A and B are shown apart, each in its own frame.
Chain A
C-alpha cells in the first residue's frame, strides 16, 4: 500500500484558514489502512480544525466526506461533487495521487494536501509501517532472496553491504532500519544460495525508474 502520514496540524490549519468553508475529503483505500486519511482521521482532523477555529476566532466551516478511492474517477460521485461545490476549497486526505486526482476533478477549487506521502510499504505491526518497494520499474527480488536492496538498503547497493552494517542494523538509522544486506545474506545462506551473491550485479537500468521520466502503462486489451 501507499503509506502516508498527516502533515503538521499548523500546516493544514494554515490552508483551511484561507477559506470560510472547506471540504475535508478522505480516501478509503491505502491511507485508511495506514490510518492517515480515512474516515476516522477525517473526523478527528475536522474536529481539530473546528476547535482551533473556535479558539482563534476564525470563521471556518468544515465539511467531512470520505470516498472509496481518490485515484479512481468512478468514486467521485454526485454527492462528492456537490460537497466540493459547496466548499471554497478541498483538503484532500488522500496520498499525492489522490490530491492530484481531486485537483483534476474539481478544476475550479483549490486542493490542498493534508498528508505527506511517504512510501510503498507494509504494516509491520499495528502502528508501525516500513518501506518495502521503491517502484524501480524492474524488479530484482529474484536475485536477493525476496529482500529488496533497492528499497531497503540506504544506498541501494546491489553488490553487498557497505561498511555501515553492524549487528544487523544500518548505520543511517540503527534503531529503526535493518541492514538489508544482513537480511539478504541470512536468507540466501539459509537457502544454500550464498554463491549467487558472489556474482557481480551489473549497472541497474534506472530508466525504468522515475529517472526515465514519469511512467505510464497502456494496455490495449483492457481499454474500453
Chain B
C-alpha cells in the first residue's frame, strides 16, 4: 500500500483542476458519500474517494504519498468519536493526521491541505457539504500559492 501510487483524476482542460483525495472509512464516510449520490446531492468531481476498512488503517506515509503523487488536498473522513467499528481507529487516525500536518509543515507543504473530518454513514448531505467546503479551501490555498510565487506589479516596482 505504502509505495503504490494512487491514480489521480485526469487533468482537465482547466489549468486549476484540483486533485483531492478523500480517504474514507468503509463504515461511515464512504457510505455517506454513496448516500450523497443516491440523494442526488452534488459535490465537486475533483474528489477521488479511496475506501479504507477504517481510517485507523491509514498510514502516515500513505498520506504523504498522496501529496507526492500530486494531490492538492487530502481529506481523511472517519466515524464520529465513539462510533468506530473498531472502537478507536478513528481517534488514532485523528492523532496521526495531526502528526502528519506537522510533518507537512516541516517539508514546506501547507498543513491546511490535510484535514480530518468525522462523518456518520447517514450523513450524506454532510459529506457533500464537507467535500464542497474542503475543495473550496484547497482552491483558495492553491490560488494564494500561485499569487505568492508570481511577483506582483508592486513588488517589481520596488526593484531599481
Contacts and interface: CB of A to CB of B under 8 A. Distances in A.
Interface in B112-156: none
B104 interface: yes
A48 B3 contact: no
B2 A48 contact: no
A44 B103 contact: yes
Size range of the chain A interface in the assembly: 10 to 19
Interface in A168-213: none
Given A40-B59, A43-B2, A43-B3, A9 B64 contact: no
6 contacts: A40-B2, A43-B2, A48-B103, A51-B64, A51-B67, A51-B109
A56 interface: yes
Given A50-B68, A51-B67, A51-B68, A43 B61 contact: yes
Interface residues of B, number: 15
A54 B67 CA distance: 11
**B interface SS class:** helix
Nearest to B102: A9
Interface in A76-122: none
User: Secondary structure of the A side of the interface?
Assistant: helix
Contact of A44 (B60, B67, B108, B109): B60
Contact of A55 (B3, B59, B60, B108): B108
Nearest to A49: B107
A49 B106 CA distance: 10
Interface in B67-118: 67-68, 103-104, 106-109
A136 interface: no
A52 B3 CA distance: 18
Nearest to A64: B3
B46 interface: no
Interface in B1-40: 2-3
Nearest to A127: B95
Contacts of B59: 40
A55 B109 CA distance: 7
Contacts of A125: none
Contacts of A43: 2-3, 61
